A = this chain, B = another copy of it.
Amino acid sequence: MRRPTIADIARRAGVSQAAVSFALNGRPGVSEATRERILAAADALGWQPNTAARSLSAAAAGAVGLAVARPARTLGVEPFFMQLISGIQAELSERGHALLLDLVEDVHAEAAVHRRWWAERRVDGVLLVDLRTGDPRPEVLREIGMPAVLAGGPDPTGAVPGVWVDDARAMTAVVEHLHGLGHERLAHVSGPPGMAHSAHRAEAFAAAAGTGAARAATDFSDAEGAVATRGLLRRRPRPTAIVYDNDVMAVAGLSAARQAGLSVPGDLSVVAWEDSALCRLTHPTLTALSRDAFRFGAAAAARLLDLVRHGPGGAAVGDTEFELPELVVRESTAPPRPNGG
């Protein structure tokens, strides 16, 4: 039951502990024959390194952290997050690192968690999501000197490198799709203006959609998505197409439109920013922007591990751009009715 240590291996193989350490870590200093004898002994004993001991001398935790500041209510509904975490996880475990997860109230609590993790040496670095405007986190991370990567960057302050998607370009593509169908009065149901990527999208929308464009901000929840939709549909002239910043709100918007007596896509076209099973469950199915959250998470994790391993001057420098999301056209977008509005 007692877990074997290198001392056990050393005794079994008849060598010193130092030799065992060299052998197990593939460093020079032991002959090939001895190395094999040691590896065989380690294998026979089922030895695994004690992470605490290794961390202590190596001054590396072998783990990275992800603290998420979103209400659990919102988090749970968005498939995006689990996919993201799954991708992060896959990359990390392949490279022998563990993932520490923390769900907290807000970005200040998150920064506090980062400080604690760092002080306790629990993690070698952290991943950031949901950058806010005036976000305290990048500054805190720079201050304590902890490696960090922003998933969904770039960080305008430049304190933290990011793996990012060009939301502006994606938004332009969505607007072009709608324009191409003949829509002229577009609306955007966005996330909180305090979220950086939300603000980016809103700007890009305003720039691409032209003068008739309307906008409503929400907290990403289905409830506010419905309220925003009702508000937009009361406008005269009424928008003929709405772009939602996530899948959940798009579904809520669909219900709201139906309750207002409008048909989709006859009276109103709908686009969701994030694709998921949800978008295929509705009737009509939703046109959506699809990105590979799994690979996105993996890319961010890979970037972070490089940073941890090689320091800021490592393999990649600055921000890394991730592929554009793909617009998957389904039933919820169609040309507007000639008499619409």
Residue A108 CB within 8 A of the other chain: no
Flag the segment in A18-26, A200-208, A274-282 that touches B.
A274-282
Instruction: Mark A77-97 against chain B: 1 for CB-CB distance below 8 A, else 0.
Output: 101111101100110010000
Residue A133 CB within 8 A of the other chain: no
Q: What is the interface of chain A mostly: helix, strand, loop, or mixed?
A: helix
Residue A100 CB within 8 A of the other chain: yes
Question: What's the least CB distance linking A263 to chain B, in Å?
Answer: 13
Enumerate chain B residues within 8 angstroms of A80, measured Cβ to Cβ. Answer: 76
| Interface residues in A246-274 (C-beta closer than 8 Å to B) | 248, 251-252, 255, 258-259
Cα(A86)–Cα(B52), bound, Å: 26
Instruction: Mark A1-29 against chain B: 1 for CB-CB distance below 8 A, else 0.
Output: 10100000000000000000000000000
Enumerate chain B residues within 8 angstroms of A251, measured Cβ to Cβ. Answer: 281
Flag the segment in A118-126, A165-173, A180-188, A312-320 that touches B.
A118-126
> What is the chain B residue whose CB lies nearest that of A255?
B283
Q: Is the CB of A119 within 8 A of B48?
A: yes
Find the residue from A47, A222, A281 having the highest chain B CB count within 10 A: A281
Cα(A120)–Cα(B49), bound, Å: 5
Enumerate chain B residues within 8 angstroms of A122, measured Cβ to Cβ. Answer: 51, 98
Instruction: Mark A222-253 against chain B: 1 for CB-CB distance below 8 A, else 0.
Output: 10000000000000000000000000100110
Cα(A66)–Cα(B119), bound, Å: 24
Find the residue from A55, A118, A277 having the highest chain B CB count within 10 A: A277
Residue A53 CB within 8 A of the other chain: yes
> What is the chain B residue whose CB lies nearest that of A54?
B52
Which one of B56, B82, B100 contacts A75 once the chains associate, using CB atoms below 8 Å? B82
Question: What's the least CB distance linking A194 to chain B, in Å?
Answer: 22
Cα(A46)–Cα(B112), bound, Å: 13
Residue A328 CB within 8 A of the other chain: no
| Interface residues in A133-150 (C-beta closer than 8 Å to B) | 144-145
Q: Is the CB of B85 within 8 A of A101?
A: yes
Q: Is the CB of B51 within 8 A of A120?
A: yes
Question: What's the least CB distance linking A103 to chain B, in Å?
Answer: 5
Are A277 and B101 also in contact (CB < 8 A) when A52-B61, A120-B51 are? no
A-B contact pairs, 14 of them (CB 8 A): A50-B56, A51-B122, A52-B52, A52-B121, A76-B277, A77-B277, A89-B101, A93-B102, A99-B100, A99-B101, A100-B100, A221-B277, A222-B277, A252-B281
The 5 A-B pairs at the shortest CB distance, nearest first, are namely A76-B79, A48-B119, A76-B82, A52-B55, A72-B86
The residues of A with any CB-CB pair to B shorter than 8 Å are: 1, 3, 46-53, 55-56, 61, 63, 72-73, 75-77, 79-83, 85-86, 89-90, 93, 98-103, 116, 118-122, 144-145, 221-222, 248, 251-252, 255, 258-259, 276-278, 280-283, 294
Beyond A99-B102, A221-B277, list 20 extra A-B contacts (CB 8 Å).
A3-B118, A3-B121, A46-B119, A47-B119, A48-B116, A50-B121, A51-B121, A53-B56, A56-B56, A72-B86, A76-B79, A76-B81, A77-B79, A85-B103, A89-B103, A93-B102, A222-B280, A248-B277, A251-B281, A255-B283
